[in-house]
Structures are given as structure tokens and as C-alpha cells.
Structure 1
């Protein structure tokens, strides 16, 4: 499967692996250990598949839910949910991915738990730092990708112009033509 990474930050793209969170049937993009393996590699967290198992998948889904809960709390100005804070902090305390310098540049190796630790670190840095004020959720009604709005006027509306922005603008154009 080809995964998508519109947010530019692996921890936020990880949240987007469950698409359309608020619909009756969200779309799961990492629903098996093999899909989680490929996501880690395509996200650039690991160079090789870590051979995930069901326990790794459960840990990944739990971390994703926790990060999303924390992001939603930041977006809505609510207090951070204690259970989500505990989950993210527990994962962030783990051993990170091993990076090595070699003749080809760098290599990244590790297990699934190490990749999840790196995602938890990113989430902590975003949620506890100045970037928390840049968090946004995509403006397309069915999309629930979150991203950091680093645009000049801080008026970015979509996770990615080539996908959601294009869909919204095309739908608006069709509606104007019908009217």
C-alpha cells in the first residue's frame, strides 16, 4: 500500500492513518502489522520493515488515539486528557530509533517500539512547544488530518492543496456552475 504524508511531520501524518475520524466508518490505513511495517518505512522512520506483530499494532493504535486526543484538546482549548498524556509520555520514555552515519548518508534501524518512541517524542515537542499554536485541522469536512500552519499569514485551510484543497475548490466551482 502507498501511504500518504500530507502534513510534513511524521507524528501528525501518523494521526492521519485513521482517515475521516468523525464519520460512522473511518478508513483505517494501518490495520495490520504489515501495513504498519510499510508505514514506518515510507514515513522514513526506519530503513527496513521491523516485522511488526499484533502487540506492536495495538501499541501503535493506542499511541495514535492518544496523540489525536491531545491535538484535539489543543485545537479546542481544552485541558489535555490525562490518559492520553500518560500514554504518550510512557511511549516517549522508550528507546529511540538508532541512527548511524555511513558512506551512503544515514541509516535508521530499530523495532516498532523504537519508531513509536520517535513519534511520541515528536508529539511531545509539538504539543508542549511553540508549535502547538500552529496546529490546525484540515478544512475539508471529511478530512481530519492535522498539520502545522507555517504559512505566511497563518491562513492555510487544508492539509494539502493537491488533495483536499483541490477537492474543496473543485466542489465550490461545480456548485457555482450549477447555480
Structure 2
């Protein structure tokens, strides 16, 4: 979705500025989110403490990403949180008949997410953007040709913006034809 597992985590609190929608209400939600992630192991058990750490990491990543987008210095507390988690032991890689698989406990997953955020946020050449839909606060890496991507994704935001623009055009032409 966003091009980064850490930015995907930051996106689990949607519509931050208008009507926040929490996708991670508890440890079970985080376990389901990990199961759905292609980059992270899905067979991880999440404790309440680990869940709290994940939410703290999510907020730190979001804060640091918005700092980067605004071209201001990083928030020190968020930076310390991210760097502390990035120091942890990471996932292990194992070879299987179908390729490789990454394994580890929730602490290793959080360390991997933190390191992913470090990599993304340190890359000044990466085209990091916030969704062009006014209510959406999802941040993503624009890897499109010419870095022309406007929305976090077509399924949710892109289609809605295009549909609203179409309806507005129809209303204008309908009003003009009725005059």
C-alpha cells in the first residue's frame, strides 16, 4: 500500500484530522494486521505491552514522517522512540522449499518496523507524500513514473476523489443545460 511496512503501520489510524478511525483497537487487531502483511511474519503473538509499544511506534513514525514532509527537524521524543526500538534484535531469515521466510517474536517485528522507518525517513531521495484527498492522512512512497501519484491508493481515495469530481462536473453541465 504505502511502499513501507512502517508507513503502513502509521496508516492504521485513518482520517487523523477529521474523524479518526482506529484499525488497531487491541492485540488481536495487530496480530491480524501482521498476518495480512507480506513483509512480516504473521504467526506472532502480541501481548498488551507489545501492543502499546506498537502504537507508540506508529505515532512516532507518523510524527517523524510529517516532520520530514514539512521539511522541519525531527521531533526529539519521536526520534528517541524510533531509535530505541530500532536497536532491538530483528527477525531471522530461514530458507525453505518455497524461498525464504522471516521469523521472530513481536519484539523482533517491532525492531524491524522501526528499522524500516529509519531507512525510509533517512532516504532524502525517496518521494514521500501525503494522500491528496483532503481528509486522508495516509503517507506513502511515490514510486510511480515521474512521481506523479496523487492518492494513497485508488481503491479508497483515488476513486472517491475522481467520482466526486465527475459528479461535480455533471452538476455543472446539468445546471448549465437547464439555464
TM-score, with structure 1 as normaliser = 0.90
1:130 match: secondary structure: coil
Q: Structure 1 pair 67/42, CA: closer, same or farther in 2 (3 Å)?
A: same
The answer as to 2:155 corresponding to 1:165 is: no
Q: Give the distance between the partners of 2:123 and 2:158, measured in 1 at CA.
A: 28
Kindly report which structure 2 residues correspond to 1:72-111, keeping only aligned pairs within 5 A, or say none.
72-111=66-105
Contact 1:36 1:57 in 2 (8 A): yes
Q: Distance in 2 between matches of 1:48 and 1:14?
A: 14
Distance 1:29 1:57 in 2: 13
Question: Which sections of structure 1, spanning at least 5 residues, go unmatched?
Answer: 1-5
What are the ranges of 5 or more consecutive residues in structure 2 without an aligned counterpart? 173-179
Once the two structures are TM-superposed, the CA of residue 160 in structure 1 deviates from its matched residue by 1.1
Pairing 1:23-102 to 2, within 5 Å after superposition: 23=18, 25-102=19-96
CA distance in 2: counterparts of 1:60 and 1:35, whole angstroms: 11
Between the aligned partners of 1:178 and 1:62, the Cα distance in structure 2 is 45
Q: Find the aligned partners of 2:11 and 2:147 in 1 and give their Cα distance.
A: 21
Is the deviation greater in 154-163 or in 58-67?
154-163
- Is 1:112 the counterpart of 2:102? The answer is no
Give CA-to-partner distance per residue, 1:102-121, whole Å, 9 cap, x none: 12212222111111111111
- Separation in 2 of the partners of 1:46 and 1:166? 29
Figure out how many residues of one structure are paired with residues of the other and give that number. Answer: 172
Q: Which has the larger radius of gyration?
A: 2
Aligned to 1:18: 13
Separation in structure 1 between the aligned mates of residue 137 and residue 47 of structure 2, nearest angstrom: 27
Instruction: Report the Cα distance in structure 2 between the residues aligned to 1:54 and 1:44, rounded to whole angstroms.
Output: 23
8 Å contact from structure 1 (residues 21, 144) kept in 2: yes
